[in-house]
Amino acid sequence: MDIEGGERQTKHEVAPALISVHPFQKSVAITVGSALRVFDLIENRPVSLVDESDGPSHKDSIRAIRYGSSGKLFASAGDDKLVKIWSADSWHCLNTISSEKRVTAVAISSDDSYVCYADKFGVVWVVDLDGINEGKVLPSKKGVQLLCHYCSIITSLEFSPDGRYILSSDRDFKIRVTVFPKKSLQGAHEIQSFCLGHTEFVTCITFVQNPEFAQGYLMSGSGDSSVRLWDITTGSLLDTCDVSPTVKHLESNESEPTQVTVTDICALPNSSLAAVSIQRQVCFVLACIRFQGIVLLHCDLSAHTLSITKVIKIPGGSFIPTSISFSTSTRLLWMVSGASNGSNHPGYTRVRLISRIEAEPSSVLEDEQVPGGTTLLEHLQGKVSIEESVMSAAAEAVRAAMCSLMVKKQYSEENREFRKNNRNDKKPTQ
């Protein structure tokens, strides 16, 4: 009997911590496991979420959070198959959408009229947010199928700055650019382009723009240790930046060929720089991701080039950024590290900030310098100070979480045959 294979599958999945900052820096939200923690940066106090449903808002790991670009709405979604739309002012849950499958990515259109989410089948659903406003809880809605990546998990969803396109990146290597239709409830059938060039899973996509190029260009990060720049109307690859040399810069002991995973990417608005959070990956399979750091890239929008400006090392080796977010007004880069620890325990999280990211040298803020100070850290991290030893243990969980999230399981030829012959849906033979 197949015991070994079955056991491996029931092992609980850990989810990496996520962070998102309000577009006008009114609040900051982080998630770890099923916990959603929000801190009000204007009044310097923790926010208590109001949700009509009983019990915790999310019952399983949250996989995606996001503020709408207007700053009015906030969306959270994850493994409990729920997408929740919150008011980013009152923090009332305005709508709960139930999905058939676990949710992997979420996006809110720039006019706050639609929310899109992607599920484990690679299907993107759209929900009309018509009538959503302050303090009014809408009846639960069902998503309508918008498009489908055939059998590949979607890692990131993004609307183009002008709202014309919806972009979806997947765990194969594709980025699909689809025209977002006026009658979106009838599905998005017109594909503008495919951005093909990555050789591994695509982890994150974002737009870079400046006043001159308001239309913006697309940037994507991937497990093939590259960041790429694309023209979405034609799908053509404009430039590729290999970020693996930066790892050599960070780590001196060079032995194996390095492959780096870009885990998150965020553009610094109205400038042509983008910060990239990277993790080093040795080879391919499980337990492979090793540290670390933030890389600042320069993107020349008129010449269509990408280049590495600098590498920012974070003091204390155990901080592995799992998610980053940039606040425009204060020009602070927020980073979070952490992963859920089994099903119920939220695990440890650590929040750190970098100020003056474009300047030389940019500084990683000490805990006292963080806006909101210890009240913020206490709320977001669960406690103020976390010992180094606990963090290094958590770092292991973070690596495992990132791996299982991104890397497809690889089986040897022999193992594959074994799995094929021991499928549990097969009738037992006499």
Partner 1 sequence: MESETKPTFSKSTGLPRKRFYRARAHSNPLSDSHFPIPISPSHLDFSLHFPKFFGANNEEVSKKAEFADIGCGFGGLLISLATLFPDTLMIGMELRDKVTEYVKERILALRKSSSGGQYEKVSVVRTNSMKYIPNYFEKGQLSKMFFLFPDPHFKEKNHRRRVISVDLLDEYAYVLRAGGIIYTITDVEELGEWMRSCLEKHPMFESLTQDELDSDPVVELLCSATEEGQKVARNGGQTFRAVFRRIAYVS
Q: Among 151, 283, 285, 390, indicate the residue that binds partner 1 (CB under 8 A).
A: 151
- Look-up of token digits 């989410």: 117
Closest among 352, 199, 349, 216 to 274, alpha carbons compared: 216
Minimum distance from CB of 198 to partner 1 (Å)? 8
Q: Taking CB under 8 A as the rule, does residue 193 contact partner 1? A: yes
Q: Taking CB under 8 A as the rule, does residue 347 contact partner 1? A: no
DSSP annotation of 74 reads E
- Choose the binding region for partner 1 from 42-50, 166-174, 204-212, 350-358 (rule: CB under 8 A): 166-174
Q: Taking CB under 8 A as the rule, does residue 179 contact partner 1? A: yes
- Rounded CA gap, 279 and 114, in Å? 33
> Among residues 197 and 338, whose Cβ is nearest to partner 1?
197
Type and span of the H or E element at 401:
helix 388-406
In order of 15, 244, 349, 379, the CA distances from 384 in angstroms are: 22, 34, 10, 8
- Rounded CA gap, 168 and 179, in Å? 11
Q: Among 53, 98, 140, 186, indicate the residue that binds partner 1 (CB under 8 A).
A: 186
Q: Which residues pair with 82 in a beta bridge?
A: 98
In order of 13, 76, 289, 397, the CA distances from 341 in angstroms are: 9, 19, 18, 7
> Among residues 136 and 409, whose Cβ is nearest to partner 1?
409
Report CA dihedral (266, 269, 275, 277) to the nearest 10 degrees: -20
Q: Read out DSSP for 181-193?
A: -SSGGG----EEE
Minimum distance from CB of 418 to partner 1 (Å)? 15
Q: Taking CB under 8 A as the rule, does residue 147 contact partner 1? A: yes
Q: Taking CB under 8 A as the rule, does residue 13 contact partner 1? A: no
- Choose the binding region for partner 1 from 73-81, 167-175, 260-268, 287-295 (rule: CB under 8 A): 167-175
- Look-up of token digits 């952490």: 338
* Residue 131 CB neighbour total at 10 angstroms: 10
Tell me if 27 sits within 8 A of 353, measured CB to CB: no
- Choose the binding region for partner 1 from 111-119, 197-205, 334-342, 366-374 (rule: CB under 8 A): 197-205
- Choose the binding region for partner 1 from 3-11, 51-59, 140-148, 241-249 (rule: CB under 8 A): 140-148
Type of residue at 408: K
Q: Taking CB under 8 A as the rule, does residue 173 contact partner 1? A: yes
Minimum distance from CB of 172 to partner 1 (Å)? 7
Q: Among 71, 181, 317, 382, indicate the residue that binds partner 1 (CB under 8 A).
A: 181
> Among residues 76 and 222, whose Cβ is nearest to partner 1?
222
Range 118-137, binding partner 1 (CB under 8 A): 121, 123
Binding residues (CB under 8 A) for partner 1: these are 121, 123, 145, 147-148, 150-152, 172-174, 178-179, 181-182, 186-191, 193-194, 196-199, 235, 408
